[in-house]
Structure 1
Amino acid sequence: MSVTTSLNLPVLSFSQLTTEHPQRDRWLARLSEAARETGFFYLTDHGIDPALLADVQRVSRAFFALPLADKLAIRMAHSPHFRGYNVAGAELTRSQPDQREQFDLGAERDPLPLTPESPAWQRLQGPNQWPAALPELRAVLSRWQQAMTGMALALLRAFADALHLPHHAFDTLYGRLPNEHVKLIRYPGQSAAASRQGVGAHKDSGFLTFLLQDAQPGLQVEVTPDRWVDATPLPGAFVVNIGELLELATNGYLRATVHRVVSPPAGSERLSVAFFLGAELGAVVPVYPLPASLAQLAQGPASDPLNPLLRDVGWNYLKGRLRSHPDVAARFYADQLSALSPRPQ
């Protein structure tokens, strides 16, 4: 495994994925091992322009520096699509408030036409909210989302190769209208006596998550039960982790790992920008047939009985949103709150 002595997670260079690279097969084996054993790794040499990454961080800081009234004008509570701004403490993880100020956006699309028979997850598609006081934000994040999509899909297809599946095996799940998600996150410093839950322990629901961190630590990964390690910021790299879709699709061979963020100390702050590669909301996750040598290592997907994994992508994603954002749920999904109870698999 390619690991540095100062980091707790594997480090993989995306440059070795190119078809002509002599180490490509060995790199795919390391990718498979990292995703199975840890579920988290650093991705370096990913090809995303460093100037674009700097712009993303710059406009993210500019957004959070806006007057509160400008940010509240695009509160998520105004959006049935769960897009927009939240003050620290508004989002819940495991019923506890997360001490993070954030801005969520997704693919820019028109709302779907709805009928009384439409599944509730169809309400998730729709436009973003953008701050009038910072028009540059939309331009920069749209460029970054497009660049990230191309790179993330290449990595997703590399996972298919690593699992000895057809190169485009996951493309049907990704679909024509994937549920991509971007989140800008600012963690304000907290005193030792205050809650240090920047984000509570959780798994991500999509295919893959790519996290751009600043220099402030805080992300922690539960590599084994009750053993947490720091995902120390590595300049220029993304922290990548496996989402529940790939855990479900591989019967637990690939691992969606529990992680959390500990708030920075008082007098400091932490900025991170996350890109979540998701699937089409109408898709249903199958179990892909792995070679016997890999299938025997699959441990089955780990599902919390109080928050079970669902193979219906739209329902699984909506369930998480309803739990995390009770204000949006009460305003736009009051008829669906019973969905918070476990659904049959």
Structure 2
Amino acid sequence: MSLADACARLPTLDFSQFRGPPPVRQAFLAALREVLHDHGFFYVTGHGVDPGLIAEVTATAKRFFALPSAEKLKIEMIRSPHFRGYTPAGQERTRGQPDWREQLDINTEGLAVQMTPDMPAWRRLQGPNQWPDALPEFRPLLLAYQAEVTRLGVALLEAIAVALEQPPTAFADIFAPSPSQLLKIIRYPGRETAASDQGVGAHRDGGFVTMLLQDEVAGLRVQGRDGAWIAAPPSPGTFVINAGELLELATDGFVRAAIHDVVAPPAGVERFSIAFFLGSRPDATIPVIPLPDALKASQRGLSVDPLNPIFREVGRNQLKSRLRSHPDVARAHYADLLAGADWA
């Protein structure tokens, strides 16, 4: 890491200021608008999530990863056509390369859809989660946490809308009443057997906003507008918040969905994190919201990645992401779609 990288810092915003007196609120909104346009990443304090709940979720996540491999594999993702469950290290892919992390994916709890020929393929993603029998407390705990960070995410979207000089509910028609609520419980093993230092490869998140809890071990990096990497080490009591591709789509590039990655820890060290991705309803199509002229002048258009096209149809985007990141699950449950160019 260069000296410039080491000196760069993500800003920290106090979310409680959004509900503060007018001068405080306006200063907060100006800072939020600036960081959304710059790289979309910041630490947030004053978020209102119970520290006791955070501590309990973190401790229980570590107990899950400490289970014998056979117990975790009982709920391996390949058993789920809905891309829910446990993924061993090296099984998920980013841009075709294996990520060195094991994880448990939980999304909005629901029933499997009885598909008919006229239904879009993304409806196959909807369904139940898989839960470990060895930790019966995990299901109510994670669903309670999922509900709480959903509350925070919706409040953040209200603040983002106001910072963009829109009504607070500007994004509600896109996500209400049933947003995507992807929760990932993650462990990065040390690199004893990893082929590279890729914990997670460079990528942009696909939803509206991501809320990340980190433990004591660093590894997250964010790419600034100049291409240099900015380290985002753990900061107690905070979430790392970042804007996703849906905000970039909705603002025609005024909000930047920044590239970021995670460097796997060295041998003998493990890293834990809990990531929550608040997304749109899968049946929504993302419009371009009418920004005022002063902000419209700073719209940059969409980031173009020929290896990863972005669709305004949310369900299509979600399915594309899952098929690419978990090719073993795709082969097991979606072989009929894999010949399509959109999913390659």
TM-score after normalising by structure 2: 0.95
Q: Does 1:40 align with 2:41?
A: yes
Stretch moving more, 246-255 or 15-24: 15-24
Alignment of structure 1 residues 225-304 onto 2, 5 Å: 225-304=226-305
State how far apart, in whole Å, the 2-side matches of 1:68 and 1:54 are.
24
State how far apart, in whole Å, the 1-side matches of 2:203 and 2:105 are.
18
**TM-aligned CA deviation for residue 183 of structure 1:** 0.2
Structure 2 unpaired stretches of 5+: 1-5
Q: Does 1:91 align with 2:92?
A: yes
Which residue of 2 is the match for residue 177 of structure 1?
A: 178
State how far apart, in whole Å, the 1-side matches of 2:54 and 2:120 are.
37
Check whether the contact 1:322–1:340 (CA below 8 A) recurs between aligned residues.
Answer: no
Q: Compared with structure 1, are the counterparts of its residues 114 and 19 closer, same or farther at alpha carbon in structure 2 (3 Å cutoff)?
A: farther
**CA RMSD between the two structures:** 1.6
**TM-aligned CA deviation for residue 226 of structure 1:** 3.5
Q: Compared with structure 1, are the counterparts of its residues 164 and 226 closer, same or farther at alpha carbon in structure 2 (3 Å cutoff)?
A: closer
Check whether the contact 2:101–2:200 (CA below 8 A) recurs between aligned residues.
Answer: yes
Stretch moving more, 280-289 or 328-337: 328-337
**TM-aligned CA deviation for residue 194 of structure 1:** 3.9
Amino acid at match of 1:298: Q
Q: Does 1:10 align with 2:6?
A: no
Q: Compared with structure 1, are the counterparts of its residues 135 and 6 closer, same or farther at alpha carbon in structure 2 (3 Å cutoff)?
A: farther
Amino acid at match of 1:202: H
Check whether the contact 2:251–2:291 (CA below 8 A) recurs between aligned residues.
Answer: yes
State how far apart, in whole Å, the 2-side matches of 1:226 and 1:194 are.
25
Q: Compared with structure 1, are the counterparts of its residues 24 and 133 closer, same or farther at alpha carbon in structure 2 (3 Å cutoff)?
A: same
State how far apart, in whole Å, the 1-side matches of 2:33 and 2:198 are.
31
Q: Which runs of 4+ in 1 moved over 6 A?
A: none
Q: Deviations over 1:148-168 (max 9, x none)?
A: 111110110111111111210
Check whether the contact 1:7–1:231 (CA below 8 A) recurs between aligned residues.
Answer: no
Q: Deviations over 1:256-302 (max 9, x none)?
A: 00000000011110000001111000000000010010011010110
Alignment of structure 1 residues 72-111 onto 2, 5 Å: 72-111=73-112
Structure 1 unpaired stretches of 5+: none
**TM-aligned CA deviation for residue 191 of structure 1:** 4.5
SS at match of 1:153: helix
Check whether the contact 1:188–1:264 (CA below 8 A) recurs between aligned residues.
Answer: yes
Which residue of 2 is the match for residue 60 of structure 1?
A: 61
State how far apart, in whole Å, the 2-side matches of 1:191 and 1:248 are.
40
State how far apart, in whole Å, the 2-side matches of 1:12 and 1:169 are.
22
**TM-aligned CA deviation for residue 137 of structure 1:** 1.1
SS at match of 2:183: strand
Amino acid at match of 1:85: Y
Which residue of 2 is the match for residue 320 of structure 1?
A: 321
Which residue of 1 is the match for residue 159 of structure 2?
A: 158
State how far apart, in whole Å, the 2-side matches of 1:334 and 1:185 are.
28
Check whether the contact 1:84–1:128 (CA below 8 A) recurs between aligned residues.
Answer: yes
Q: Deviations over 1:140-196 (max 9, x none)?
A: 111111111111101101111111112101001112221110001100011498411
TM-score after normalising by structure 1: 0.95
SS at match of 2:72: helix
Stretch moving more, 219-228 or 314-323: 219-228
State how far apart, in whole Å, the 2-side matches of 1:270 and 1:181 are.
20
State how far apart, in whole Å, the 2-side matches of 1:176 and 1:45 are.
26
Residue identity over aligned pairs, in percent, reads: 53
State how far apart, in whole Å, the 1-side matches of 2:253 and 2:276 are.
23
Check whether the contact 1:208–1:276 (CA below 8 A) recurs between aligned residues.
Answer: yes
Check whether the contact 2:248–2:256 (CA below 8 A) recurs between aligned residues.
Answer: yes
Check whether the contact 2:185–2:273 (CA below 8 A) recurs between aligned residues.
Answer: yes
**TM-aligned CA deviation for residue 89 of structure 1:** 0.2
Which residue of 2 is the match for residue 341 of structure 1?
A: 342
**TM-aligned CA deviation for residue 64 of structure 1:** 0.3
State how far apart, in whole Å, the 2-side matches of 1:132 and 1:188 are.
23
